[in-house]
Amino acid sequence: MMKFGDNNFAVSFSDPQNHTNRIVATDLGANEHLNFYMRMYLDSRHAPFAGSVIMGPGYLATSTSLIWPRFQLFL
């Protein structure tokens, strides 16, 4: 968990209506060696925020999720 102090909001560094001061991230991943030269990864991340944050024009989010597949070739 990452938490920033409330003093960031007090000095107008960010607006507490549009930003959060706490985030928790959970990562889960697996990798598989397909053969001597190839490896495959699959990673997932879910990060809920302490409150809603602006992710784009007119879009508020309370969390983000990511799925990241990757293949690696060793030569």
User: pLDDT-based confidence at 62, cuts 50/70/90?
Assistant: confident
Q: What is the pTM of this model?
A: 0.62
Q: Which of 63, 71, 66, 72 is nearest to 28 (CA)?
A: 66
Between CA 20 and CA 8 the distance in angstroms is 10
Between CA 36 and CA 75 the distance in angstroms is 10
Contact 47, 23 (CB under 8 A): yes
For residue 14, the SS3 value is: coil
User: pLDDT-based confidence at 44, cuts 50/70/90?
Assistant: very high
What's residue 23's pLDDT?
Answer: 78
What's residue 49's pLDDT?
Answer: 84
What's residue 3's pLDDT?
Answer: 61
Between CA 2 and CA 45 the distance in angstroms is 15
